[in-house]
Amino acid sequence: MTKKTVSPHEELFREVIEKSSMKQEVFQALQETFALFKTTSGQMAKEYSATARNLKAEYDVPMEMEEHGTFEFSLKFGGDILFFLMHSNIFEIPRDHNVMRSTYIKENKERSYCGIIHIYNFLSDSFKYNRQNDLGYLIGRILINKEQHYFIEGKSELGFLYKNFRHSIITPESVDKIITAAIRYTIGFDLLTPPYEQVKLISVDEMKNTLDTIALKTGKRLGFKFYPDPDEEE
């Protein structure tokens, strides 16, 4: 009878397998969530088209969902585009984050490992006219764990800071609410005139270029910085 060989590194190898398997489980939940965001956005665009025809708007104002590969899709409406980006890596919530003090995490530390979906807002003209210097803004990011529980970090003005990690679960209804809130925030986040001092000088080279490629930054809030608001967990 052949004697079973026991590797001196068996415990180490077990840790590698367990940690990697857990992260794969989180990533699978993230992929399912991202697919639901993509499907819901596509359905919303179709519903919009049907409704817009009934409203008989004076101008053509389409809403279009477009896929850009495995990790990205966009939802264009009016003069704006929302980009949804799924990160390929899994992250652990920082130890000093408020969510880490919740009983939900303390019951099972693996719940603190999350995948991330970022939502960025750009002007559609930035891509239409290839304005490479234009700015986009992170309006929120969704963190999802292996149980498809989630919370959102973003500016308070968004009005959709879902902070209850224990009870916030990804469903078709919750995804619809998040996308709706992101659109509402975007249409209320208007383009402001840039400060005069910032645009009073222009080079000869810039002036020779067409307006499409002119190297002046256009953004809704020049100088705006994104600061995640503190999360509050029960």
Helix (H) or strand (E) segment spanning residue 142: strand 137-144
Alpha-carbon distance of 158 to 16, in angstroms, equals 40
With beta carbons less than 8 A apart as the criterion, state whether 231 and 162 touch.
Answer: no
User: What is the pLDDT at residue 56?
Assistant: 76
**Does residue 139 fall inside a structural domain?**
yes
**Helix 172-188 crosses helix 10-55 at what angle (to 10 degrees)?**
60
**Does residue 155 fall inside a structural domain?**
yes
CB burial of residue 129 (10 Å; 0-12, 13-18, 19+): middle
DSSP letter assigned to residue 212: T
CB burial of residue 65 (10 Å; 0-12, 13-18, 19+): buried
Amino acid at site 69:
G
Residue 135 CB neighbours (<10 A): 17
**Does residue 43 fall inside a structural domain?**
yes
User: What is the pLDDT at residue 189?
Assistant: 78
Phi and psi torsions of 87, nearest 5°: -75, 145
Of the candidates 140, 138, 111, which has an alpha carbon nearest to the alpha carbon of residue 29? 111
* 44 token code pair: 């919303």
Residue with tokens 């397998």: 17
pLDDT, tens digit only, all 234 positions of the chain: 666 778 889 999 999 999 999 999 999 999 999 999 999 999 999 999 888 888 877 788 899 999 999 999 999 999 999 999 999 999 999 999 989 999 999 999 999 999 999 999 999 998 888 888 788 889 999 999 999 999 998 865 554 456 789 999 999 999 999 999 999 989 887 766 666 776 666 666 666 664 545 445 565 554 333 344 444 343
**Does residue 71 fall inside a structural domain?**
yes
Alpha-carbon distance of 9 to 5, in angstroms, equals 12
The residues with which 63 forms a beta bridge, in sequence order, are: 77
User: What is the pLDDT at residue 50?
Assistant: 87
Domain hosting residue 58, numbered range: 11-208
User: What is the pLDDT at residue 161?
Assistant: 54
**Does residue 216 fall inside a structural domain?**
no
Q: pTM for the whole thing?
A: 0.82
Total domains in the fold of the chain: 1
Helix (H) or strand (E) segment spanning residue 12: helix 10-55
Alpha-carbon distance of 145 to 111, in angstroms, equals 6
**Does residue 32 fall inside a structural domain?**
yes
User: What is the pLDDT at residue 224?
Assistant: 37
Amino acid at site 206:
E
**Does residue 229 fall inside a structural domain?**
no
Alpha-carbon distance of 140 to 119, in angstroms, equals 5
